[in-house]
Copies of this chain bind each other. A is one copy, B any other.
């Protein structure tokens, strides 16, 4: 559809993509889903709105692309030398995203809107699948080191680890600091049952 030569380094999207994504996610965090418009994202990022529409057909498509490709939400892929160290780094990163600004408000805005907009829920699903895929070296290295069984399911582990953090911070509205990461990871790796 788009035939202009790209001057930026992105695989897809205009060369101003990062500025457009930052504007999109910033507006979403500040005003929520309903207040975000393609016009507003264009104005804040200094591009014409036709540039945005050339790449993303709707506000939801733009949000979906921004979630996966913006630098703001770029996942970490720690390589500390141990599974425990890597998972603690991942957990600290998730705690930071869910307690820091503007990512905390961004999560709230997407979650509030996703309940009514199936397309947004689908984008959130793609976002998490993409993250899990990018973090897969953490689990592959743990299997190689013999720390994790070869048939261990990274998705199930991240549901437990990420889920505990999301549940406590976002669903239960409780507090958490990066220091809560280590005990959580220890329970996940060693198990909650009393060792006899």
Chain A interface helix/strand/loop/mixed: helix
Q: Does A183 contact B (CB under 8 A)?
A: yes
Render A84-120 as a binary contact track against B, CB cut-off 8 A, 1 for contact: 0000000000000000000000001101111110000
Given A190-B193, A192-B148, A164-B159 contact (CB < 8 Å): yes
Chain B contacts for A187, CB-based, 8 A: 156-157, 160, 191
B171 adjacent to A124 (CB under 8 Å): yes
Query: Which of B121, B159, B183 has a CB less than 8 Å from the CB of A173?
Result: B121
Binding site for B on A (CB under 8 A): 32, 83, 108-109, 111-116, 121-122, 124-125, 128, 146-149, 152, 156-157, 159-160, 162-168, 170-174, 183-184, 187-194, 196
Chain B contacts for A146, CB-based, 8 A: 194, 196
29 A-B pairs (CB sep. < 8 Å): A108-B115, A111-B112, A111-B115, A112-B112, A121-B173, A124-B172, A125-B173, A128-B172, A146-B196, A147-B194, A156-B184, A157-B187, A157-B192, A159-B163, A160-B164, A160-B188, A160-B192, A162-B167, A163-B163, A163-B164, A163-B165, A166-B171, A170-B171, A188-B188, A188-B192, A189-B192, A190-B191, A190-B193, A191-B191
